[in-house]
Structure 1
Amino acid sequence: MKKKITTFIIGLVAAISHGLSAQDITGVFFDPRDGQEYETVFIELQLEGGASVVKEWLGQNLNYPMEGAFCYKNYEEYCDTFGRLYNWKAALEACPAGWHLPDDVEIGSLTSKHGGSKSAGATFKEGGESGLNLLMAGFGEANGTFIDVGVNGYYWKRANKEDRTPGLLTIHNGVDYFTDDSIDGTHRNSIRCVRD
């Protein structure tokens, strides 16, 4: 297994060095907790001083069943299409070992790469240039109300890997911008994990 991973990483570095953009490179991740398979996307991000890093993101919304995770309107079929919606307490624990919720540095670098906050939202959406393919999965309230499926996508984030304050990235149908907010931790939102 170690040889396969090393070979894959060497191939990835070679592909990027030959001008293939990182979002053209996809992979697969098998969650060892429940055996679910997720597409992944490798995204090259520019750092300060001209350095760059390649980050692997889940290319699909997390769908790991756990306490604090819900299907939209409690229909399993929504989970099959859009993944689960998590309250903040669950979101802090939901990503598999070796993965984490995206932080502001990762989102900021991705936003800069795609034209800034006024236009990057369009590239984050399904079919967009970033390769993230964020879905309009809606959200849930603690009282059991669910709204906005097919209209907006709400994704948990945090300021940094140690921060425990709930942050939210929202993509909107019909506009190119996204919004970046703080929100009550009882809300139920989608998750895209990033490999450590």
Structure 2
Amino acid sequence: MLLGLGLAASAGLKTFVPLLVMAVAARFGLFGFELAGPFAWLASSGALVALSLATAAELAADKIPFVDHLLSLVGVIARPAAGALAAAAAFSHADPAIAALAGLVIGAPTALAVHSAQATTRVASTASTGGLGNPIISLVEDVAAFASALLALAAPLLVPLLLLVVGIVAWRAIAVVRGASGRARVRRRAY
């Protein structure tokens, strides 16, 4: 369950990163991870190429102002879907109905919650930096997405701790950015 939770959280940051990390791990037998049954296709050569290209495109496009907001808009649907797929694949050795249910119950809401926090941070960053800070935030999200996916595969028991730390950091970052933009509004009113 924690593996699915960690992969879904990663999908909330970047749609294709956890799917790619999971597919590579399954393909090369990393962390003892295997995909079975209806999810084995994720470790195929075609899926690896497609996921690699999609990941590269998403990571690059997310650094471009305005395009990053379009990706965020599309992410409202795409990231929960990717989170559901990743979480379901984590249960690939279970009955397919159980895997699908796990994806819907664990994966989709987790990815949506993480994506919502990310989108809020982006809006606050855009408001306070005019969008100039967004590529830096995107780079941090890239690292966090890869790290959380790898951690979920290597040490799933640490996923709750990771989510707690990420939640606290996101909460503080939003508060700092909102505080800075609020002070800027007060200064503008003073003139």
TM-score of the superposed pair, with normalisation by structure 2: 0.27
**Structure holding more helix per residue:** 2
In our comparison, the structure showing a higher alpha carbon Rg is 2
TM-score of the superposed pair, with normalisation by structure 1: 0.27
